[in-house]
């Protein structure tokens, strides 16, 4: 049903973030099965995104793909990606679907070595309210909330460009049931930092909806 919603008989352009693996890669693959779809597939390192690069040679691919470097933790990278997309779209092209799938889970404690500027990642078994870590918490909030906000800020002008009668303006941010204050599933508190970040992302989506 999700892909049916994205796939139409009209020419559409989709921005899909974190497209090098997992959900983002599959969304990109499914969209490119239709000749009417153009996908701007972003990832942190296009040169190492082997599966994403393979889509260009796949016989099942009928749509157009533009692979764009973007790291949502880097504001300059976001700005450069927006400029790259604008070069393809020109002055009249638009993005019909803006899909933000990027995010991180708190799997590590980020610890700085004494008297150095180097950080090490120490595996952690869980992330409970009694085991929060300042550096890790800040990184997860920055990536999972601020990152999508900055990406939306950079790419919404393309979404808001005039469209024909068949056009739809859709912004999709991938969240989680663990970010909801209602209907929480058992064990959610073992990923407290992640859950808080998704609750914040839900609020960001609500704010974007109200503002635009």
**Tell me: the pLDDT tens digits for 124-164?**
556 888 888 888 889 899 999 999 999 999 999 999 998 76
pTM of the model: 0.84
The Cα 140–Cα 109 span in angstroms is: 11
pLDDT band at 43 (very low <50, low <70, confident <90, very high): very high
Report the C-alpha gap between 100 and 16 in whole angstroms. Answer: 6
pLDDT in tens, 76-98: 999 999 999 999 999 989 999 99
Rg (CA), the chain: 18
Tokens of 66: 């533009």
Q: How far is CA 106 from CA 93, 122, 150, in A?
A: 38, 11, 21
């Amino acid at each position: 049903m999700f892909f049916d919603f994205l796939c139409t008989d009209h020419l559409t352009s989709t921005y899909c973030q974190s497209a090098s693996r997992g959900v983002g890669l599959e969304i990109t693959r499914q969209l490119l099965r239709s000749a009417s779809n153009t996908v701007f597939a972003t990832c942190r390192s296009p040169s190492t995104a082997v599966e994403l690069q393979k889509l260009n040679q796949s016989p099942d691919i009928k749509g157009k793909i533009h692979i764009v470097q973007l790291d949502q933790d880097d504001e300059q990278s976001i700005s450069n990606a927006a400029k790259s997309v604008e070069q393809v779209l020109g002055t009249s092209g638009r993005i019909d679907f803006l899909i933000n799938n990027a995010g991180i889970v708190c799997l590590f404690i980020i610890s700085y070595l004494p008297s150095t500027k180097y950080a090490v990642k120490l595996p952690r078994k869980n992330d409970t309210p009694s085991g929060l870590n300042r550096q890790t918490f800040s990184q997860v909030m920055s990536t999972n909330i601020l990152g999508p906000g900055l990406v939306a800020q950079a790419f919404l002008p393309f979404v808001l460009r005039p469209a024909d009668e068949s056009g739809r303006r859709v912004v999709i941010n991938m969240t989680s049931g663990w970010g909801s204050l209602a209907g929480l599933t058992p064990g959610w508190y073992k990923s407290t930092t992640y859950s808080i970040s998704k609750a914040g992302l839900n609020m960001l989506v609500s704010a974007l909806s109200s503002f635009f």
